[in-house]
């Protein structure tokens, strides 16, 4: 994420402009995650996680969760809304907060590298790709592919909207295929009904391709 969009993201959290946050697990996660066949003890990477309750949903099903978030306010709010005690430590460029089986790494996703992702075996992206401007999305897709081992699976929720404003940004199906197709096997699972504002979510299953 470039510095302009980083500042905008941090400002949103400071001002409480987080209309993208849901007060329950995302329906696409609940419906489609079990279909991926990810073993219950697999650690799940959640980029640009905010304070998403999707992480608690995954943790309740046995998954260790590793969320990465730039805004410290989001992490503080997630912990405050939980019941378990939290511990904190540093890991490279990141301040890590652990609550139960959820680890929240405060910092830049692009500074998270393969050695730190060694235990990660799956990923979930509901609001990372669509939070990034077009110029950064290719970098994001490539970095995510570098972090995931061959055969690992993930669930992606993309978004289309009737204008070019954002975030969240419009990411058409053709762009999803262009960004991820070289490194992942893609399956388009579903298109949600359009919302009154014209936003429409699409759900994708991804599987990291093996070495050739």
Q: Residues 57-64: contacts with CB within 8 Å, 24+ apart? A: 57/25, 57/29, 57/30, 58/29, 58/33, 58/124, 59/100, 59/101, 59/102, 63/38, 63/101, 63/122, 64/101, 64/102, 64/103, 64/119
Query: Is 12 labelled a binding residue?
Result: no
Query: Is 83 labelled a binding residue?
Result: no
Strands 94-99 and 43-47: unpaired
Query: Is 33 labelled a binding residue?
Result: no
Query: Is 9 labelled a binding residue?
Result: no
Exposure string over 143-166, b if 16+ CB within 10 A, otherwise e? bbbebbeeebbbbbbbbbbeeeeb
Q: How far apart are CA 108 and CA 136, in angstroms?
A: 13
Quick one: tokens of 14?
Answer: 């400071």
Decide: 184 and 168 in contact? Cβ < 8 Å: no
Point out the annotated binding site: 13, 48, 69, 126
Point out the annotated binding site for S-adenosyl-L-methionine: 13, 48, 69, 126
């Amino acid at each position: 994420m470039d510095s302009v969009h980083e500042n905008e993201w941090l400002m949103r959290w400071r001002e409480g402009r987080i209309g993208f946050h849901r007060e329950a697990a995302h329906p696409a996660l609940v419906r489609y995650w079990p279909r991926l066949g990810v073993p219950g003890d697999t650690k799940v990477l959640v980029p640009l996680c905010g304070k998403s309750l999707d992480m608690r949903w995954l943790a309740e099903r046995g998954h260790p969760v590793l969320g990465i978030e730039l805004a410290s306010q989001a992490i503080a709010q997630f912990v405050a809304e939980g019941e378990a005690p939290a511990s904190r430590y540093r890991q490279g460029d990141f301040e890590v907060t652990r609550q139960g089986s959820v680890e929240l790494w405060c910092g830049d996703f692009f500074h998270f590298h393969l050695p730190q992702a060694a235990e990660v075996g799956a990923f979930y992206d509901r609001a990372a790709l669509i939070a990034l401007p077009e110029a950064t999305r290719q970098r994001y897709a490539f970095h995510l592919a570098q972090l995931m081992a061959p055969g690992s699976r993930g669930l992606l929720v993309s978004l289309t909207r009737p204008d070019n404003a954002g975030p969240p940004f419009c990411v058409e199906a053709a762009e999803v295929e262009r960004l991820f197709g070289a490194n992942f096997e893609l399956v388009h699972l579903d298109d949600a009904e359009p919302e009154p504002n014209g936003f429409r979510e699409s759900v994708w299953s991804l599987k990291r391709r093996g070495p050739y």
